[in-house]
Amino acid sequence: MRAIATITILVAAGFSMPGIAATDHDSQAGHGSMSAKPSADASLIDGLVKKVDKSAGKVTVSHGPLPNGMPAMTMVFKVKNAAWLDQMKAGSKIRFAADQINGLMTIVRFAQAE
């Protein structure tokens, strides 16, 4: 019983040789060129503008699920840049990213959808 415990400890402690395994893995063709970073456009959510309220600096958008776990719904957002409201019209499709700023959901990146 003691011999099994000793062997288990030795195997767990150092026989896996992570340095060698990492070197072998890194040298595989093609792995060095892969990127884990998603494209900047990948984090944008599709939305449909329902209403623009320039005087309040807000826009109502029907959107799919947000990365923060918020489900698909229609809701009012503040916008980081009020000039964006001039580019948004009811019925237009947009792509956007939102974040909570000062307790309010705010569109922090925006692009017209194609």
CATH of 40-112, one of 3.40.190.80, 2.40.50.320, 3.20.20.70, 3.40.50.2000: 2.40.50.320
Cα(33)–Cα(98) distance, rounded to whole angstroms? Answer: 31
- What are the boundaries of each domain within the chain? 2-33, 40-112
Residue pLDDT, tens place only, 59-106: 999 999 998 889 999 999 999 999 999 999 999 999 999 999 999 999
Reported confidence tier of residue 4, pLDDT bands at 50, 70, 90: low
Arithmetic mean of pLDDT, 16-38: 39
In sequence order, what E strands does the chain have?
A: 45-53, 58-63, 73-79, 93-101, 104-112
User: Would you say 91 and 49 are in contact if contact means Cβ atoms under 8 Å apart?
Assistant: yes
Give the tens place of pLDDT for each residue, 43-58. 899 999 999 999 999 9
Give the pTM: 0.63
